[in-house]
Chain A
Amino acid sequence: MVSIFYLIAQMVGAGALVSLLLGIKPGTTFLGMDADTAKVATIILVGALMIVYVVVGGMKGTTYVQIVKAFLLMTGALVMTLLVLAHYKFNLSTLLGDAAQQSGKGEAFLQPGLRYGVETASASATFYSKMDLLSLGIALVLGTAGLPHILTRFYTVPTARVARKSVLWAIGIIGVFYLFTLALGFGAAALVGGKAITAQDKAGNTAAPQLAQALGIDYLGGDTGGSVLLAIIAAVAFATILAVVAGLTLASSSSVAHDFYASVIKRGQAGERDEVRVARISAFVIGAVAIVLSIFAQSLNVAFLVALAFAVAASANLPAILYSLFWRRFNTAGALWSIYGGLIAAVVLVFFSPVVSGSATAMFPDSDWHWFPLSNPGIISIPIGFLCGWIGTVTSKETDADKYAELEVRSLTGHGAH
């Protein structure tokens, strides 16, 4: 579930991107396809490529691809950030001021409250909006450590110490990157403008490439300059999407092959070649399913879809992991309860939320069956996940001190890690 939300988010991003960078406006055509068909075609193409990456390269391949892309992305974002700052003579305050002014919302643009926790005349709407903000905040923080495709990357290093180092590096890189996006976001608001952005993509997914274009026009000279920078950044963005979806597909297919096939169907007796073959097949199937689903999910902002994935990861996976690692009493029933409880809670609440029906940006905008008022279920589903895990554990008489001893000793000392 988790990986699928994330996967769809990435592919939707690809679709949104193509019509900007190929200049396909509604009503015009490219290679005989109109804007919408081109988006679908992109999703299919990206999907097909990612399947190839995973099936052929496995983790080694996808990791190297990820490294190359990370390097390109950081460089591209750095260059754009420097250009934006240079435009404002490295004065952050003027950048912000210009952004606020261009947005048409004045100072409110620089303050929390335009999108989350929106204050309106209706007290209950305000209340829910703020709750939504809290819910989102919690889901984001707790979700990362529960994302399967991230967790699986802790295993690609020789030891736990190296895993620690890699997380430290990741924190540094990611932190710097988000500082870049801060500048880029406000830069886009100032130099491109909200109207131009929503004209191209109502959810705002094309702001960064559009900014690239604007910077190119300004710094590299005229329209050609704009086109060049736009092309580079757009290509990097496509590369980004491709690398990430490959990683997601790999994580999913690994899970099917290793956790399901090898453990359950073959009861731990699967030959290695067999298991790898199954992993490759499931990569293909998962990729195909994701392509289809993505085609239906195109109007949602990408960051938002990802936040949903996080909520599910935080509600279902994280409680199980933390309890497994740190709680002596935890047992089978607890694990089942926490995963099911968290997963069902999150999915049900999302299904009955304004995200799926009952609002203009919903998946089914013309129907309305929602009763859950928040768009992110985290604030409810995460506690439910933890609670279910607790209930499941204490109501079952099963304990296994031996197993826990082994797990705890091994996880703290690294003994027996292979």
Chain B
Amino acid sequence: MTTEATPSEKYLEVQRSEEFAGLRRKLRNFVFPMTVAFFLWYALYVLLSAYARGFMSAKIVGHINVALLFGLLQFVSTFLIAWYYSRYAAKELDPIADKINADLKEPRS
């Protein structure tokens, strides 16, 4: 026996479901902390560039100083975070999203 829900009821129902809540939680638990993290890491870099000139000028090898290294590390961290997100999303988020999507397409019974 199928019941026809109006579109908005349908979405509300999904939103309240365990499955969706799980998806949302997994997403937010990754994305929000990661955003804060990379933002703070970047902010650290900018603040040090502004206020810790002595530290940043210290040389490491030849003319390569801390500032340059720090800058390059930002590149590395960006690539890593992007890569990590793609793996996490494919493994943890996409399967659930696909399932919910598929379920939504069928009339609920």
Residue positions of A touching B, CB distance < 8 A: 91-94, 96-97, 100, 107, 110-113, 116-117, 119, 130, 133-134, 137-138, 141, 161, 164-165, 167-168, 171-172, 175, 178-179, 401-403, 405-406, 408-410, 412-415
Contacts and interface: CB of A to CB of B under 8 A. Distances in A.
Interface in B43-88: 43, 46-47, 49-51, 53, 56-57, 61-65, 67-68, 75, 78-79, 82-83, 86
15 contacts: A93-B62, A93-B63, A96-B64, A110-B68, A137-B42, A137-B46, A172-B79, A175-B79, A402-B12, A408-B15, A409-B11, A409-B15, A412-B97, A413-B20, A415-B105
A112 B46 CA distance: 10
Contacts of A96: 62-64, 68
A415 B47 contact: no
Interface string B1-32: 00000011001101100001001100100000
Contact of A164 (B23, B42, B86): B86
Interface of B: 7-8, 11-12, 14-15, 20, 23-24, 27, 39, 42-43, 46-47, 49-51, 53, 56-57, 61-65, 67-68, 75, 78-79, 82-83, 86, 89, 94, 97-98, 100-101, 104-105
Contact of B50 (A94, A112, A415): A112
A78 to B, nearest CB: 17
A133 B64 contact: no
Given A178-B75, A405-B11, A412-B27, A110 B50 contact: no
Given A402-B8, A405-B12, A412 B39 contact: no
B69 to A, nearest CB: 11
Of A130, A161, A415, most buried by chain B (CB within 10 Å of CB) is A415
A134 B50 contact: yes
A42 to B, nearest CB: 34
B23 A412 contact: yes
Contacts of B50: 112, 116-117, 130, 133-134
A117 B52 CA distance: 11
B38 to A, nearest CB: 9
Interface of B is mostly: helix
Given A94-B62, A408-B15, A111 B56 contact: yes
Contacts of B67: 110-112
B15 A405 contact: yes
B51 to A, nearest CB: 7
A110 B65 contact: yes
A139 B23 CA distance: 31
B53 A141 contact: no
Contacts of A161: 94
B8 A164 contact: no
A171 to B, nearest CB: 5
Given A97-B62, A413-B98, 11 more contacts: A96-B63, A96-B64, A110-B65, A110-B68, A111-B56, A112-B53, A130-B50, A165-B86, A409-B11, A409-B100, A414-B97
A415 B104 contact: yes
Nearest to B20: A409
A97 B11 contact: no
A134 B46 contact: yes
A94 B63 CA distance: 7
Contacts of A97: 62-63
B63 A406 contact: no
Contact of B39 (A130, A141, A179): A141
B77 to A, nearest CB: 11
Nearest to A416: B104
B53 A171 contact: no
A178 B12 CA distance: 45
A133 B62 contact: no
Contacts of B89: 164
Contacts of A110: 57, 63, 65, 67-68
Q: State the 6 A-B residue pairs at the shortest beta-carbon distance, nearest first.
A: A93-B62, A137-B46, A112-B49, A96-B63, A402-B8, A406-B11
Contacts of B27: 412
A172 B39 CA distance: 19
Contacts of B104: 409, 413, 415
Nearest to A326: B28
B8 A412 contact: no
Nearest to B59: A107
Contacts of A401: 12
A414 B12 contact: no
Contacts of B46: 133-134, 137-138
Nearest to B79: A175
A175 B78 contact: yes
